[in-house]
Amino acid sequence: MSTHFEVVEIPQQLALTVKKTTSIGQMPKIIGGIYGSIASHLLEKGEQPAGPPFIAYFNMDMENLMIEVGFPIHKEIEGEGEIKLSDIPGGRKAIGTHKGSYEKLASFYDQLAEWLNEEKLEPTGVVYEYYLNSPEEVPESELLTKVEFLLK
């Protein structure tokens, strides 16, 4: 599959999220529960997500990852407990979509970083991954993950 990257201007988006610090090894154990609790909260409020679930990464320390897990939403909704009203920042972003297993995302990140360097674009260090489908819906080889690097 050919890899296509581009720079786009994206508006700010409201979101319901949970912030955590975790290790890469613990992520699979906590992510599903967080998505479930936010989805239940949305349902209780009579609302639907405005887009696919996401994880924002604020650092790349695999033992102490600072992440924000959530769903974009259409309007302000009060959070509850660890679920908070937040936003996905707007602005210039370098984006690309990875097709394949989550385990192969690292090489996709390498390609995107190389492209950023070639284009002389400077990321802020914050990365968003949007999960456009699910391993429960499609084979691993068909998983689609949109990656957004916020740019300075």
- pLDDT value for 132: 97
Is 60 exceeded by the pLDDT of residue 42?
yes
The CATH number corresponding to 6-151 among 3.60.40.10, 3.20.20.70, 3.20.80.10, 1.10.760.10 equals: 3.20.80.10
Is 60 exceeded by the pLDDT of residue 12?
yes
- pLDDT value for 60: 87
Work out the average pLDDT over 33-58: 97
The domains of the chain are located at 6-151
Write out pLDDT tens, residues 48-92.
Answer: 999 999 999 999 898 999 999 999 999 999 999 999 999 999 999
Is 90 exceeded by the pLDDT of residue 1?
no
Is 60 exceeded by the pLDDT of residue 102?
yes
Sign of the CA dihedral 102, 147, 149, 12? negative
Work out the average pLDDT over 120-131: 96
Work out the average pLDDT over 131-136: 94
* Buried b / exposed e along 45-61 (16+ C-beta atoms within 10 A): eeeebeebbbbbbeeee
Is 90 exceeded by the pLDDT of residue 2?
no
Distance CA 5, CA 94 (A): 7
Work out the average pLDDT over 100-125: 94
- pLDDT value for 138: 96
Beta pairing class for 6-10 and 84-88? unpaired
